[in-house]
Structure 1
Amino acid sequence: MDIHEIYRSKLCTPDEAARLVPSDSHVAMGMAVAEPPALLAALARRIEAGDLSGMRLWYFHSMAHAAQSVLKRELLGKVRPHCMFLSGVERALVKADPAAAEALIDFVPTAFSASPQVLREEIALDTCVTMVSPMGKHGYFTFGTANDYTGAAAKAAKRLIVEVNPLMPRVFGESPLHVSEVDAIVEHRSPLLEVAEHAASAEDERIAEIIAEMIDDGACLQMGIGNLPAAVCRRLANRKNLGIHTELLTPALASLMNCGAANNRRKTTFPGRGVFTFAMGDTAFYEWLDDNQAVYSLPVDVVNDPRHIAKNDHVVSVNATLQVDLSGACNSEHMLGHQYSGSGGQLDFVRGANASKGGISIIACHSTAKNGTVSRIVPQLDGPVTTPRNDVHWIVTEHGAACLRGKTLRERADAMIALAHPKFRDELARAV
Structure 2
Amino acid sequence: MPVATSAIDFAGLIRAGDLVVCGQATAEPRTLTEALAEQSFGLPPFRLMVGPVFSDTFNRADTSNISFLSYGVIGHARKLARAGRLDVVPSNYSAFCADFASGRHRADVVLVQLAVSADGRLSASLSRDYVIDAARRARLVIAEINPDAPFTCGAEWPDDVPIHLRIAARHPPLELPSDAPDEVSRRIAANTAALIADGSTLQFGVGKIPDAILSSLTHARHLGIHSGLINDAVVELIERGVVTNACKGIDPGITVTNQLIGTQRLYRFADRNKAVAMHPASYTHDHGVLSRINRLVAINSALQVGVDGSVNAETLNGVAIGAIGGQLDFVRGANASPGGRAIIALPAVAPDGSSRIVASVETVTTPRADVDAIVTEWGVAELRGCSLSERARRMIAIAAPQHRDRLTHQSKPMT
Letter in 2 for 1:32: A
Equivalent position SS for 2:142: strand
Letter in 1 for 2:19: H
Q: Where do residues 95-106 of structure 1 align in structure 2 (5 Å cutoff)?
A: 98=82, 101-102=83-84, 104-106=85-87
Aligned residues: 410
Equivalent position SS for 1:416: helix
Partner of 1:161: 142
Is the Cα–Cα contact under 8 Å of residues 222 and 246 in structure 2 kept in the other structure?
A: yes
2:354 corresponds to 1:374: yes
Is the Cα–Cα contact under 8 Å of residues 129 and 258 in structure 2 kept in the other structure?
A: yes
Partner of 1:39: 32
In structure 2, what is the Cα distance between the partners aligned to 1:242 and 1:19? Answer: 51
In structure 2, what is the Cα distance between the partners aligned to 1:414 and 1:108? Answer: 35
Q: Where do residues 29-178 of structure 1 align in structure 2 (5 Å cutoff)?
A: 29-48=22-41, 50=42, 52-64=43-55, 66-68=57-59, 72=61, 74-76=62-64, 78-94=65-81, 98=82, 101-102=83-84, 104-120=85-101, 121-137=103-119, 139-174=120-155, 176-178=157-159
In structure 1, what is the Cα distance between the partners aligned to 2:289 and 2:11? Answer: 38
Q: Where do residues 256-335 of structure 1 align in structure 2 (5 Å cutoff)?
A: 256-335=237-316
Alpha-carbon distance change, 134 to 189 in structure 1, aligned in 2, over 3 angstroms: farther
User: 1:179 Cα shift?
Assistant: 8.5
In structure 2, what is the Cα distance between the partners aligned to 1:335 and 1:206? Answer: 25
Letter in 2 for 1:379: A
Is the Cα–Cα contact under 8 Å of residues 36 and 65 in structure 1 kept in the other structure?
A: no
Letter in 2 for 1:377: I
User: 1:12 Cα shift?
Assistant: 5.4
In structure 1, what is the Cα distance between the partners aligned to 2:174 and 2:16? Answer: 29
User: 1:58 Cα shift?
Assistant: 1.3
2:389 corresponds to 1:396: no
User: Gaps spanning 5+ residues in structure 1: where?
Assistant: 1-6
In structure 2, what is the Cα distance between the partners aligned to 1:44 and 1:165? Answer: 20
Partner of 1:4: none
In structure 1, what is the Cα distance between the partners aligned to 2:351 and 2:209? Answer: 18
Alpha-carbon distance change, 167 to 175 in structure 1, aligned in 2, over 3 angstroms: closer
User: 1:17 Cα shift?
Assistant: 6.5
Partner of 2:399: 420
TM-score (structure 2 length as normaliser): 0.93
In structure 2, what is the Cα distance between the partners aligned to 1:429 and 1:413? Answer: 8
In structure 1, what is the Cα distance between the partners aligned to 2:226 and 2:33? Answer: 31
RMSD (Å) for aligned C-alpha atoms: 2.0
2:237 corresponds to 1:246: no
Alpha-carbon distance change, 42 to 421 in structure 1, aligned in 2, over 3 angstroms: closer
In structure 2, what is the Cα distance between the partners aligned to 1:400 and 1:342? Answer: 25
In structure 1, what is the Cα distance between the partners aligned to 2:24 and 2:100? Answer: 14
User: 1:11 Cα shift?
Assistant: 3.8
Partner of 1:339: 320
The match for 1:188 among 161, 165, 169 is 169
Equivalent position SS for 1:361: strand
User: 1:68 Cα shift?
Assistant: 4.9
Equivalent position SS for 1:205: helix
Q: Deviations over 1:33-92 (max 9, x none)?
A: 1111221233234423x2x212111121123163256xx4x322x111112121232322
Equivalent position SS for 1:178: coil
In structure 2, what is the Cα distance between the partners aligned to 1:222 and 1:396? Answer: 16
Equivalent position SS for 1:368: coil
Alpha-carbon distance change, 16 to 422 in structure 1, aligned in 2, over 3 angstroms: closer
Deviates more, 1:163-172 or 1:220-229: 220-229
In structure 2, what is the Cα distance between the partners aligned to 1:67 and 1:279? Answer: 22
Is the Cα–Cα contact under 8 Å of residues 54 and 176 in structure 2 kept in the other structure?
A: no
Percent identity, please. 34
2:205 corresponds to 1:205: no
Equivalent position SS for 1:151: helix
Letter in 1 for 2:396: I
In structure 1, what is the Cα distance between the partners aligned to 2:11 and 2:330? Answer: 37
Is the Cα–Cα contact under 8 Å of residues 167 and 191 in structure 1 kept in the other structure?
A: yes
Partner of 1:23: 16
Alpha-carbon distance change, 400 to 180 in structure 1, aligned in 2, over 3 angstroms: closer
Is the Cα–Cα contact under 8 Å of residues 189 and 213 in structure 2 kept in the other structure?
A: yes
Q: Deviations over 1:252-297 (max 9, x none)?
A: 1221111111111222332111000011111222112211121000
Q: Deviations over 1:121-146 (max 9, x none)?
A: 22332111110102451x42111111
Letter in 1 for 2:97: P
Partner of 1:351: 332
Equivalent position SS for 1:375: coil
In structure 1, what is the Cα distance between the partners aligned to 2:250 and 2:124? Answer: 21
Alpha-carbon distance change, 45 to 322 in structure 1, aligned in 2, over 3 angstroms: closer
Q: Deviations over 1:110-130 (max 9, x none)?
A: 211122223342233211111
Deviates more, 1:180-189 or 1:356-365: 180-189
Is the Cα–Cα contact under 8 Å of residues 153 and 274 in structure 2 kept in the other structure?
A: yes
In structure 1, what is the Cα distance between the partners aligned to 2:196 and 2:74? Answer: 29
